[in-house]
Structure 1
């Protein structure tokens, strides 16, 4: 009889331990609230998302947590699941912003690239710029990336700088960076999509340093005597420059007139 009582107590202990282990495991497997981020990109562009978390209301957590999510190479349509909350060392944190790291490749070499950022902000209260969620489908932010060219160094070699700006509902380029703000309420489980396009024509990085002709853009020679292009004078004088492949040119992008 005593043996049976001992056996029953042992079984109950094992059962209790199993239930507690299942409960703990179950809690650890409970899904964290998140939203889906999608990005539709031009060719030769990549993107990564850096998420920033701050202390939840009523808690004091020093600093913030940063998580990077990288895009698989060669993918023009990506999707990332971004958590809205994080718990680190017993401290609850909520997502405040997502910095979008946009990389464009303009040439064959690894150095022939340029970086630009965008920002998605998560608001607890609506503002004039906060975008409402549609009844169905993703919340879409649109942007356009523009390549700006200039010369660099004593040989005046062409380099390109990436500039990505938001588009309004009518497709007009804005001064602000790609992205925008949205409400935290209702964000869980929804999809936020960034659609990036590439401007058809490149433009000079410096305003009034190049003159557009029927053959292409020509870099000016000014009064400062510098190696790179200068502010155009009247009548304009022009400089030669080099393409990244080493060609000596007089107009961009056609090289020769």
Structure 2
């Protein structure tokens, strides 16, 4: 979805999103853009990609990529941070590339999160927001002011030393203003967005779950890793054996018998 070199020119875009916009710039932006606020929990970072398609009724096509120029796309970033962070991005609703009128189709998030101190103790998932045409006077349901992205860690063991590794999963969730949950996954209608502010709040589930079923057994103190056929069995399905378990290692190297408390 994302490539390393697409962030050429990113500093300019992020500066618009994170900086304070003057009164004149704000008035212009409100005519054809909306403010996207992204709230991240500690240890998280995102890369955002706004994608555009030809406006309805247009026969043109988005020009092909030329060098480091990505027609029909704009990029945003919040770097990984140990602290919670909030960023403001000004997202254009329309664009024009090579004479082709474009409209915002989607805003995709690449979500990165740390679960340990090592460089590879990193989880990644993808989520986003979609947009569609609509009449400003006949919009149902109403535009939500907040979208919730619920992330959770799924844990497993890897390698002969059975180190804990985690997989990040993020999905849309309903907020109190979306009582029936129908707005949680969109799409949002562009006609309602000009000059408005949408907040996307990322949160992390308090309780972690095993990545694969029938591999751990839950006890009041935590989860125990099933023995499987032997200590060397990489899959180690429980298959009804809820009395034989094997040790594993935390990302920091601690020898443990129960997760996440390590020792019983």
Which TM-score band (shorter chain)? 0.7 to 0.9
Query: How many Å separate the matches in 1 of 2:92 and 2:177?
Result: 30
Deviation of 1:66 after TM superposition, in Å, equals 2.3
Q: For 1:51-200, what aligned pairs fall within 5 Å after superposition?
A: 51-56=50-55, 57-62=57-62, 65-72=72-79, 74=81, 76-125=85-134, 131-133=141-143, 139-169=145-175, 179-200=185-206
Runs of 4+ in 1 over 4 A off after TM superposition: 223-226
Query: How many Å separate the matches in 2 of 1:256 and 1:92?
Result: 61
Residues 181, 150 of structure 1: alpha-carbon distance in 2 compared, 3 angstrom cutoff: same
Deviation of 1:72 after TM superposition, in Å, equals 5.0
Q: Is the 8 A contact 2:34 2:198 kept in 1?
A: yes
Give the equivalent residue in structure 2 for 1:40. 39
Corresponding residue pairs, total? 220
1:218 to 221, 224, 233: 224
RMSD, aligned α-carbons = 2.9
Q: Is the 8 A contact 2:37 2:198 kept in 1?
A: yes
**Higher-RCO chain (CA-CA 8 Å, sequence separation at least 6):** 2
Residues 235, 227 of structure 1: alpha-carbon distance in 2 compared, 3 angstrom cutoff: closer
| Secondary structure of the corresponding residue to residue 61 of structure 2 | coil
Query: How many Å separate the matches in 1 of 2:206 and 2:75?
Result: 31
Give the equivalent residue in structure 1 for 2:6. none
Give the equivalent residue in structure 2 for 1:22. none
Larger relative strand fraction? 1
Deviation of 1:235 after TM superposition, in Å, equals 3.2
Q: Which runs of 5+ in 1 are unaligned?
A: 1-29
Q: Is the 8 A contact 1:45 1:103 kept in 2?
A: yes
1:250 and 2:260 are equivalent in the alignment: no
Deviation of 1:215 after TM superposition, in Å, equals 2.7
Deviation of 1:228 after TM superposition, in Å, equals 2.9
Q: Is the 8 A contact 1:229 1:239 kept in 2?
A: no
Residues 229, 243 of structure 1: alpha-carbon distance in 2 compared, 3 angstrom cutoff: farther
TM-score (norm 2): 0.74
TM-score (norm 1): 0.76
Q: Is the 8 A contact 1:210 1:217 kept in 2?
A: yes
